[in-house]
Structure formats: C-alpha cells, structure tokens
C-alpha cells in the first residue's frame, strides 16, 4: 500500500500530465526532438500521487522512472501524444501539459536509412510540417477540467506566457526562463504562475517543492470554479 501525503487533499481526483520530449523520425535511425529530461512532469506526478490523486502520465521517451502507482502511457511523436491525451482528457479533473512537444516534424518519414552520397538531396533539405498543438486543442475543447500549461521562454517571460494563456484557453501557465544553462535537466527552477488574475513569482527551488506549489495553485483554481 502506498502512503497518502500529509493531507491526501487530491484523493479521488483524476490528473493527467504530459511529460518529456516528443521525437519525430526522419528515417529509421534519425529523429528531431526537444531538450527535455521529463523531470518537471514526473515531479508533478510524484507529488500528486502522494496527495492521493489518480495520475496518468502521457510520456515521451525519458530516462526517469515512473513513480509508484502512476499509470504511464508511452508515446513517441506529437501526433501519438495528441491521440493518447484525447482519450484520457475527458475523464480528467486537472490536466497539466508539461511535455516539450516538438513544434515541427519531418513532413515525410523515409522508410529506409538515408545514405550519404545517395540521399544527399533529401538529407540537406528536410521539409518540416507543423505538429498539432495539444494544449491548445484540449484548452479549447475543455469542459470542467482545469488546464495548466508551461511556457519556456528566453525573454519577456511573463508577457509571452500570458499570450499563451489566452491563445490556448488555459487556466494557468507556468512560465520559466530557459537558455544559458537554465531549466533544462536541472534539479530546480524559478517560475511565474500566470493566470487571468495576475502572476505570482516563485523563487528558485527544487522541482519537487515547486510541484506542490503548482498543485496548490491548481487546486485553488479548481475550487474557484465550483
Ligand atoms: N504544447 C503542446 N503541443 C504543442 C506545443 C506545445 O501541448 N505542439 C504545450 C506545451 O506542453 C506547453 C505549452 O504548450 O504546456 C507551451 O509550449 P511552448 O513550446 O512554450 O509554446 P508554443 O505554443 O509551442 O510556442 P513557441 O514554442 O513558439 O514559444
Ligand atoms: Ca514550442
């Protein structure tokens, strides 16, 4: 039996989290992807499971272990992630989109390994197509779910996050600054929690601690909705 967190304040709640990168194949041996360790999404899953939530992670390929008692739906591409999310989302009370989804994918996946010399034209000009925006699709389709997204920005962090809040019809965007060794693969982060009502800055702390703060804020949005 797993032990509930101190409060068990998420008991019976259904939470879906997207996590990790997506990978988009060029050919059987190559792909394009985004930087992502999966730590942010998996930390949220661990914290929520401790608080009693039923957690499903829709996860791109990561090296971190799934927390005990959490359901993991493994996916590779953004389109696979969208399809998996679309199945889980309707049953959710809270959905957190922490995945680093590749915005673009190779338009055509070669069925054979592209070879130097023979396939130079294809190798030097990989045409890209746009992937579905999973958060935006779910944000605009949501009913009672509280929807939380992330925004990794190199500049104008809060204004850019607010644009995403509106464009994707999310209830909250967790914004952080990236670049210059910040955020990716690190143990901690500094965030801004951006909602319709304003933005709250949370100073640098470990991802495990941030997870509980983000969940507290999401719970307050859920209660505000009732
Ligand atoms: N997201 C998503 N599907 C995508 C792209 C992004 O679900 N195809 C989600 C991410 O999981 C995150 C949020 O949208 O919660 C913002 O992702 P981000 O990459 O910061 O924003 P984009 O809208 O892709 O804009 P850009 O990369 O140009 O800043
Ligand atoms: Ca993006």
In this prediction the ipTM stands at 0.99
What confidence tens digit (pLDDT) does each residue in 8-35 have?
A: 999 999 999 999 999 999 999 999 999 8
CATH of the domain at 136: 3.40.50.10300
Mean pLDDT of 133-143: 98
Residue 72 lies in a domain: yes
Element of type H or E holding 73: strand 71-74
Domain membership of residue 61 (yes or no) is: yes
Alpha-carbon distance 119 to 142, whole Å?
A: 45
Do residues 60 and 39 touch, judged by C-beta distance below 8 A? no
Q: Which atom of ligand 1 is nearest to the CA of 99?
A: 11
Rounded Cα distance between 195 and 161, Å, is 9
48 belongs to a structural domain: yes
In this prediction, residues 192-217 reach a mean pLDDT of: 95
Q: How far is the CA of 133 from the centre of ligand 1 (A)?
A: 7
Pocket test residue of 21, 34, 141, 151 for ligand 1, highest count of atoms within 8 A of CB: 151
pLDDT digits (tens, 9 = 90+) for 82-126: 999 999 999 999 999 999 999 999 999 999 999 999 999 888 899
Instruction: Give the residue among 11, 74, 62 at the shortest CA–CA distance from 38.
Output: 62
- Identify which of 177, 183, 172 has the alpha carbon closest to the alpha carbon of residue 156: 177
- Model pTM score: 0.94
Query: Is a pLDDT exceeding 70 seen at residue 181?
Result: no
Active-site residue flag, 131: no
Q: What is the extent of the structural domain holding 80?
A: 14-221
DSSP for 151-182 reads EEESSSHHHHHHHHHHHTT-SEEEEEE-BTTB
- Summarised one tens digit per residue, pLDDT across range 42-69 is 999 999 999 999 999 999 999 999 999 9
Asked if residue 143 belongs to a domain, the reply is: yes
pLDDT digits (tens, 9 = 90+) for 165-174: 999 999 999 9
* pLDDT for residue 184: 60
Which of 14, 34, 160, 169 does the annotation list as catalytic? 34
> Does residue 157 sit within a domain?
yes
Q: Helical H runs in the chain?
A: 39-50, 78-88, 120-124, 134-141, 157-167, 207-225
- Domain membership flag for residue 120: yes
Please list all protein residues whose beta carbon sits less than 5 angstroms from ligand 2, which is an ion: 103
> For atom 24 of ligand 1, which residue has the closest CA?
103
Report how many domains make up the chain.
1
The residue whose CB lies within 8 Å of the most ligand 1 atoms, and thus the one to mutate among 40, 82, 149, 179, is: 149
Taking Cα atoms as reference points, which of 172, 98, 127 lies closest to residue 24? Answer: 127
Please give the annotated binding residues, written as ranges: 103, 113, 132-135, 150, 164, 168
Helices (H) and strands (E) in the chain, counts: 6, 12
The reply to whether 9 falls in a domain is no
On whether residue 115 sits in a domain, the answer given is yes
């Amino acid at each position: 039996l797993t032990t509930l967190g101190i409060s068990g304040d998420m008991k019976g709640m259904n939470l879906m989290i997207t996590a990790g990168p997506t990978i988009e194949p060029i050919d059987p041996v190559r792909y394009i992807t985004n930087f992502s360790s999966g730590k942010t999404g998996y930390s949220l899953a661990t914290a929520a499971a401790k608080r009693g939530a039923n957690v499903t992670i829709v996860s791109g390929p990561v090296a971190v272990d799934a927390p005990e008692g959490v359901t993991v739906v493994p996916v590779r591409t953004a389109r696979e992630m969208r399809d998996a999310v679309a199945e889980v989302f309707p049953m959710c009370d809270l959905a957190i989109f922490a995945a680093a989804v590749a915005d673009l994918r190779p338009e055509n996946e070669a069925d054979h390994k592209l070879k130097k010399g023979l396939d130079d034209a294809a190798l030097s000009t990989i045409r890209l197509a746009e992937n579905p925006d999973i958060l935006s699709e779910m944000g605009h389709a949501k009913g009672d779910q509280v929807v939380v997204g992330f925004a990794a920005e190199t500049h104008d962090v809060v204004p850019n996050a607010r644009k995403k809040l509106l464009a994707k019809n999310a209830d909250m965007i967790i914004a952080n600054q990236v670049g210059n060794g910040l955020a990716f693969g690190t143990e901690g982060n500094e965030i801004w929690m951006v909602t319709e009502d304003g933005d709250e800055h949370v100073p640098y702390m470990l991802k495990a601690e941030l997870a509980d703060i983000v969940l507290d804020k999401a719970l307050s949005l859920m209660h505000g909705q009732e």
